[in-house]
């Protein structure tokens, strides 16, 4: 597994956890333990996204800077698969 793939897997895992906790909190908004867990996952996610974007470019077009369309210049997944 490449470094890019490992980072994407870690990012995906954290994003899944945050989304899953968000769904739980929709029905349990006062659960402070889950709010803390969500905060912990968000804190784990931020440096992973920052590292990925520094090395490989933006993850989504919303993270694109206003001067270029760098997000479309990255290799697409099917361009790097063997």
Beta strand spans in the chain (E): none
At 79 the pLDDT is 73
3-state secondary structure of 6: helix
**Looking at 6-10, 52-56, 66-70, which range is the least confident one?**
66-70
Distances (CA, A) of 25 to 30, 37, 44, 51: 8, 11, 19, 29
CA 15 to chain centre: 5
Looking up tokens 């470094």, which residue turns up?
Answer: 3
pLDDT digits (tens, 9 = 90+) for 9-50: 999 999 999 999 999 999 999 999 999 999 999 999 999 999
- pLDDT tens-place string over residues 53-65: 889 888 876 655 5
The domain of 74 spans 3-80
- Structure tokens of 58? 């933006």
Count up the domains in the chain and report the number.
Answer: 1
**What pLDDT band is residue 82 in, cutting at 50, 70 and 90?**
low
What is the pLDDT, as a whole number, of residue 36? 96
């Amino acid at each position: 597994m490449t470094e890019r793939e490992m980072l994407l897997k870690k990012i995906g895992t954290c994003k899944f956890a945050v989304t899953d906790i968000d769904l739980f909190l929709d029905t349990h908004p006062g659960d402070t333990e889950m709010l803390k867990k969500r905060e912990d996952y968000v804190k784990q996610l931020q440096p992973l996204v920052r590292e990925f974007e520094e090395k490989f470019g933006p993850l989504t077009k919303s993270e694109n800077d206003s001067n270029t369309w760098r997000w479309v210049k990255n290799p697409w997944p099917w361009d790097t698969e063997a």
